[in-house]
Amino acid sequence: MRIVVAEDLTLLRDGLIRMLEAYGYEVVAAVDNGPDLLHALLDQRPDVAVVDVRLPPTHTDEGLRAALAARAEIPGLPVLVLSQYVERLYARELLADGNGGIGYLLKDRVSDIGEFIDNVNRVAAGGTALDPTVVSKLLHQHQLGDLTPREREVLAHMAQGRSNAAIGSALFITEKAVAKHTNSIFAKLGLQSSDDDNRRVLAVLRYLDN
C-alpha cells in the first residue's frame, strides 16, 4: 500500500513513517506543508493519505484544504485526517463527500497502534473511520429534531461506521433495540435506511453538512 504522510512536527512525522513501514506500507512522500501535500497527492496518487489539519504556511486548515483540493482532482482519493483539532467547516465538507474512504482521528486519542493501522486499512478500502469526539462536535453544530438522548448515542456510533451488533455491544442494548432506534432516526431525519453500513454513515454525514 502506498501512503502519503503530511505532518509538520518532525518527530511525529518520522514516527508515523517508521510505524507504517514496519507494517509493510510504502511511504511514497512525507511532507510538512500544504502546498507540498497537494503536489504529492496529485503526483503520487497514493492508496491513502494521512494528513494533519494545521500545516504551514498558515497553520490553520492548510492540510484539510489541500486534501479537499486533491479530491476535487482525484475523486475518491482516500484521506485519513490525524489531528489535534476538529476543523468543523472543512471536516463536514470532507466527510459529506460520499466518494471514497474518509477518516478523522484525534492524535491524543490514538493509543493503540493496531487499531490505528486497522483504520488506515479501512479508509484505504473505501470505508469510514471517525473518532467519537469528532462526531460529537459535528453533531452539536446541528439541530437534530426530536431525537432522544439514546437515539443521539446510536447516531454517533452509526457515524463511526459501526454495525447494529457493534452498537448494541457498545451501548449494552440488544441488536433489535438498535434497529428500532436506527429506523426511528432515519424517519425523524428524513433519510432512507439501508443495510449498507457505509451508506448509512454517508447519509448521516450528508445530513450534517446541510
Q: What is the pLDDT of residues 22-44, one digit of tens each?
A: 999 999 999 999 999 999 999 99
Last residue of a domain, one of 131, 157, 184: 131
* 94 and 192 housed in the same domain: no
The β-bridge relationship of strands 100-106 and 48-51 is: unpaired
Radius of gyration of the chain (CA): 17
199 contacts: CB under 8 Å, gap ≥ 6: 98
Three-state DSSP class for residue 161: coil
At residue 187 the predicted structure's pLDDT band, cuts being 50, 70 and 90, is confident
Q: What is the mean pLDDT of the chain?
A: 84
Q: Per the domain annotation, does 136 fall within a domain?
A: no
Question: What CATH number is given to the structural domain containing 199?
Answer: 1.10.10.10
Number of domains in the chain: 2
Boundaries of domain holding 150: 142-209
Last residue of a domain, one of 91, 107, 131: 131
Residues 17 and 5: their CA atoms lie apart, in Å, by 8
Question: What CATH number is given to the structural domain containing 50?
Answer: 3.40.50.2300
Q: Per the domain annotation, does 137 fall within a domain?
A: no
Helices assigned H by DSSP within the chain? 10-22, 34-44, 62-73, 88-96, 113-124, 132-139, 149-158, 164-171, 175-189, 197-209
* 21 and 69 housed in the same domain: yes
b/e 1-16 (16+ beta carbons within 10 angstroms → b): bebbbbbbeeeebeeb
pLDDT tens sequence across 193-204: 555 555 566 556
Q: Per the domain annotation, does 182 fall within a domain?
A: yes
* 119 and 153 housed in the same domain: no
Per-residue HEC secondary structure of 33-69 comes to: CHHHHHHHHHHHCCCEEEECCCCCCCCCCHHHHHHHH
Last residue of a domain, one of 107, 131, 155: 131
* 14 and 112 housed in the same domain: yes
Residue in 22, 119, 21, 147 with CA at minimum distance from that of residue 30: 21
